[in-house]
Structures are given as structure tokens and as C-alpha cells.
Amino acid sequence: MKLKVCGMRSGENIDSLIAQVNPDWMGLIFYGKSPRFVPEDFAESIVNFPIRKVGVFVNASLQEIKNTSNRFGLQTIQLHGEETSEFTKLVKEKTGLEVFKVFSIKEDIDWKTLEDFVPYVDYFLFDTFTKGYGGSGKTFDWKILRNYPFDKPFLLSGGLSIENIGDIQLLKAEIPQLAGLDINSKFEIEPALKDIGKIREFKERVSSVI
Ligand SMILES: O=C(O)c1ccccc1NCC(=O)[C@H](O)[C@H](O)COP(=O)(O)O
């Protein structure tokens, strides 16, 4: 099971994350209203870390995505707003980077609306709907995912913590397209500062059951 740790910002914290956990991806949030927002002048202290860096964008322009990708040396673009399939295609073609398209789940999801995105995304990511777009710390009703109709792998997000590893195990047994987990606020000491020991424990416990 792949692991993405989202909402990192401090160089020292990133250093420990790589040394002790080495997740598949680390997320950097480029949405100004988030308490985990990473300002541009952090680029120099982050760009050279040896980890796949995911830029999380909310309804940003292609130019902004390209500029930020170059400055921070991003490998992945996470589109976390109301981006259309046409825009997602443009991002994929113009950046050539890995793309995650997020769908925030309120009560239900119409799978038909995802069809046009399939050719342009590497993973879908399902998160809990929140007015602030992400980092809610709340899970959504995972039963909705039982009807997931695509072969495309997806990441599960929204309030994941050590407490719900048992349910994640059950979900994976039902839905093999569940390829990875995205963790964030349940592992925080304060916004954008993670408890690395707790993340290590999560990774070890997930690996022991899945
Ligand atoms: O975390 C944020 O502050 C955030 C704000 C706006 C857009 C996305 C954001 N986070 C992106 C993520 O991928 C989070 O990991 C995801 O929302 C889950 O967060 P949590 O429920 O805290 O585990």
C-alpha cells in the first residue's frame, strides 16, 4: 500500500520524515487559505529533498502550476478544486508530470462524472468534502467506494489515522484499486508540523496487515 504524507513545510520535519518513514509522496499545499500553505520563498529549502513532491493546487491557473512545479521540483500535481477534465488534460500534457485528481465526497458520487478524467490522471484521490477543500480530519462514508467502476488506481484520504487501520484493511479486501493512503491532520503537532513517530507507527501497522 502506497503512502502520501500531506501538508509538510518545515525542512527539519521533512528530513525526519524521509529518514524514518520514507513515504512514496510528500504533499506541499499551495492554497493560500490553508493553514498548511507553503509560500514561494520556501522553495530553496525544500527543492532538493530526495522524495516525490506533490503540489496540491485548488483551482490554480496552468501558469501558476508550471511556475510552482519548476521552483519546487515537483513530480506530481494534485488538483484539489473544481478543475474540469479539459483542464486536467492540459495539466497532464503541458507539465508531463504525474497527476492526481481529487473528488471530495459529500454524500454520494456520480461515477459518470469521472469518466472523462480517466485518460489524464495517474490516480484518483477521494477525500471528505469540506468548505476549506482539504485537511478536514473527517472520514466520509467509504461504502460509496464499493461501486467504484474503473481500473484506475485511487488513493483514500480524509481523516485517516491509526484508529481506522482495521477498516482500511476491510476496504482493501473489497476494492483492489485502492492503491494508497493519504494522511494529514491526524498526525499533526500543529498545522504543517507532523509527529513522525506516529506516522512511522501508522506505516508499520498498515504494512503488517495489508
Ligand atoms: O490540508 C489542507 O489544509 C488542504 C487545504 C486545501 C486543499 C487540500 C488540502 N489538503 C490536501 C490533502 O491531500 C489532505 O491530505 C487531505 O485533505 C486529507 O486531510 P485530513 O482529513 O486532514 O487527513
| Span 11-47, pLDDT tens digits | 999 999 999 999 999 999 999 999 999 999 999 999 9
Please, which residues have CB within 8 angstroms of residue 180's CB and are 6 or more apart in sequence?
1, 2, 3, 4, 24, 123, 153, 155, 156
Q: Taking residues 109-137, what's their average pLDDT?
A: 97
Q: Which residues of 50-78 are buried (b: 16+ CB within 10 A; e: fewer)?
A: ebebbbbbbebeeeebbebbebbebebbb
Beta bridge partners of 125: 102, 155
Mean pLDDT of 85-97: 98
Global model pTM greater than 0.90: yes
Which DSSP category does 37 fall into?
B
The candidate with the shortest Cα–Cα distance to 123, out of 79, 164, 72, 74, is 79
SS3 percent helix, strand, coil of the chain, rounded to 5, is 40, 25, 35
**Residue type present at position 150:** F
Whether 92 lines ligand 1, by a CB cut-off of 6 Å, is: no
How high does pLDDT run on average in the chain?
98
* Domain segments of the chain as ranges: 2-209
Q: Exposure of 176 by Cβ count < 10 A (0-12 exposed, 13-18 middle, 19+ buried)?
A: exposed
- Tell me if 120 CB under 6 Å of ligand 1: no
From atom 9 of ligand 1, which residue's Cα is the shortest distance away? 134
For residue 31 and ligand 1, the question of a CB distance below 6 A is answered with yes
Q: What is the pLDDT of residue 126?
A: 98
Residue 124 — very low, low, confident or very high, per pLDDT cuts 50/70/90?
A: very high
Q: Which atom of ligand 1 is nearest to the CA of 137?
A: 21
Q: Mapping DSSP to helix (H, G, I), strand (E, B) and coil, where does residue 210 land?
A: coil
| Cα–Cα distance, 46 to 25 (Å, whole number) | 14
Per-residue confidence at 104, pLDDT binned at 50, 70, 90?
very high
Label residue 201 by pLDDT band (50, 70, 90): very high
Rounded Cα distance between 35 and 185, Å, is: 11
Kindly give the number of the ligand 1 atom that is closest to the alpha carbon of 81. 7
The correct answer on CATH 3.20.20.70 for the domain covering 2-209 is yes
Neighbours of 142 (CB within 10 A): 19
The pLDDT, as a whole number, for residue 42 is 98
Please give the pLDDT value at position 47.
97
Pocket test for ligand 1, best of 24, 139, 160, 185 (most atoms within 8 A of CB): 185
